[in-house]
Amino acid sequence: MKIFHKVFLGMIFSAVLPLSISGWWTIKLVRNENTQRINLLLSSSAQNLSDAIYRYVIANVNSVKASIKDVSPDNEDVLRNILDSFDNINFISVNGISVGTTPRSINEYGDGIFLEKDSILFSSDKLRISLSIEPILKIIYSFSIGKTGTAHLDRVKADEPISKILEFEKDGRRYISSYNRIRDSDFAVFVSIEKNEVDKIWQNILYQIIFWIAVGVVLAFVSAFFISSGIVTPLKKISEVAIDYAKLNFSKKLFYEGKDEIKDVTRAFSVMSDEIQKAWEEIKMWNQELERRVEERTLQLKKTHDNLLVAEKIAAVGTLGAGVAHEINNPLAASLGFVQILKRKIQDEQLKKYFESIFNNLNRVRVIVEKLRNFSEIQMKANYKQININEIIRKVVEDMQDFIQEKGKDIKLNLQQVPDIYSDDEHFGSAIYELLRNAVFASDKTIEIRSYKSENNVVVEIEDDGKEGIPQEIINRIFEPFFTLKKWDGIGLGLTIARTIVQNIRGNIEVVSSPGKTVFKVLIDIDKNRELGEFLREEVSKIRTHLV
């Protein structure tokens, strides 16, 4: 038997057998469901009609009771007037006084609702009413269910159940009927439908089920034919796929699930192709990963190299400041004094201008030497303790208030509660001073200082609204010693000092700049700063123990 025939027959058997079993169960379940639905429809219709009739009777009884409530029912004329006000009431009897057409068998009934030939009688201890049956018959005759459904009233025995489903034959036709006894009465509403109509409904449902089962069988044959034809195709494509795999083109795949002579060949070929593809994908992945790591490492090395260059420059500046400041300050102070004396003694205005220029340049040298000396002290001397950075910021702003107002700038403070940090308060104040001074020169009008806690960092942001901002090509150089964009307003050590102070307390400074907005962000790692404080306390404790 060919592969096509085996697959075709197997699929037909696996599809038609379950379809037949499920179809048989479906027919059985649907037939039971249809019978239950018909019975429920009949019983619910009978109950609805009986409830409607009961409400009709009770509504008329309540109306009569309401009419005789405020009058004397002992007067026959009064009762007759009440009777005349109702179109559907034929007889009223109150406390033995009766008006209207007396029902024949009125004395045979006790309390309740009873069916007469052309009326319905309500009877109680003090009140008896005979209602016309015409309105009720209108309700009954207006009822419709299916094509042959009917409804009628009939008496039932007292020992019969309240509701019941039954079958009966009338005029050669079989009916399915359901009745529901009207509350407190001796009769019930019967709702019936011809069994022939119910059978036709079931036949229509049965034909639909058989039709869809047949459609399923046809689809199973068609699907089996096409799927069987498709399974043979891999044999013809093995050679084509092998050529593509040799060219490292793994876009085509072979799939085969049969149990014949090509199974092992197809499976082995598929496993081989999967392993080749997996190895090739791993090679490409490792190549990409290697390229990514090399790129990341290159960027890290470049960043480290740049930081080392800056660190070397900072170390050289610190060494220079420590060694040269003392040697230069003394002769520099003498030179400044001599120039001031000469300025006062010389009368020539032109010479005075020359000496004024000399004095300004010497004073600039003095400022540079002072910066160098302060920078060396920052690196060598520090009195670390817990400080509140908000208090430091407010003090720096207060000290610089005259300078800020002189430059015509506005400053805003938005300081949130943040944890204390370990630092030298004067050094940290110097860092804030340098950043704020830089912002004052760069801003157009407004400077904002913010402090807050972000994740595990204490953050201080100093934002200015300078129109130009910092060019992106030099933003990485602004912390280098002696690098400045203001030729005469600074010497290029302010940001270097600020960054050195922040790094010493395990922090960093980030800069984000664009035209109209520049933000210097000071981030201090809380855990690392706390470790620094604990280390310093241990060292101080060791020194005290040694001295004792």
- What are the residue boundaries of the structural domains of the chain, listed by start? 3-202, 261-368, 382-547
At 540, the amino acid letter reads V
Provide the token pair at 338: 């001599």
- SS3 percent helix, strand, coil of the chain, rounded to 5, is 60, 20, 20
Rounded (10°) CA dihedral 267, 270, 276, 278: -100
Provide the token pair at 374: 């302060």
CATH class of this structure's domain 382-547:
alpha beta
Report the alpha-carbon distance of residue 547 to residue 417 in Å, rounded.
Answer: 39
Q: Is 129 exposed, middle or buried (0-12, 13-18, 19+ CB in 10 A)?
A: buried
pLDDT at residue 487, as a whole number: 47
- Produce one character per residue of 474-507: b if its CB has 16 or more CB atoms within 10 Å, e if not: eeeebbbbebbeeeeebbbbbbbbbbbbbebbbb
CB neighbourhood size of 114 (10 A): 22
Q: How many alpha carbons lie under 13 Å from residue 548 in its C-beta half-sphere?
A: 6
129 φ/ψ angles, rounded to the nearest 5 degrees: -135, 135
Question: Can you say how many angstroms the Cα of residue 275 is from the centroid of all Cα atoms in its chain?
Answer: 41
Q: What is the pLDDT along the chain (548 residues), one digit of tens a residue?
A: 566 566 667 767 776 777 778 878 888 888 888 888 888 888 888 888 889 889 988 998 898 888 887 666 567 888 888 888 888 888 888 877 888 887 766 667 778 888 887 888 888 888 888 888 888 888 787 777 778 888 888 888 878 888 888 888 888 888 888 989 888 888 898 888 888 888 888 888 888 888 888 887 778 777 777 666 656 666 666 666 767 766 666 666 666 666 666 666 677 767 777 777 777 778 888 888 888 888 888 777 776 665 555 555 555 555 555 555 556 766 767 777 777 777 777 777 777 777 777 877 777 677 666 666 665 555 555 678 889 999 999 999 999 998 889 888 999 999 999 999 988 888 888 889 889 988 898 888 899 999 999 889 999 999 999 888 888 888 888 887 777 766 445 667 788 888 888 888 889 999 999 888 999 999 999 998 888 878 777 765 655 454 44
Overall pTM surpassing 0.75 (yes/no): no
Report the alpha-carbon distance of residue 546 to residue 548 in Å, rounded.
Answer: 5
CB neighbourhood size of 271 (10 A): 10
Report the alpha-carbon distance of residue 335 to residue 359 in Å, rounded.
Answer: 9
pLDDT at residue 261, as a whole number: 62
Report the alpha-carbon distance of residue 361 to residue 336 in Å, rounded.
Answer: 10
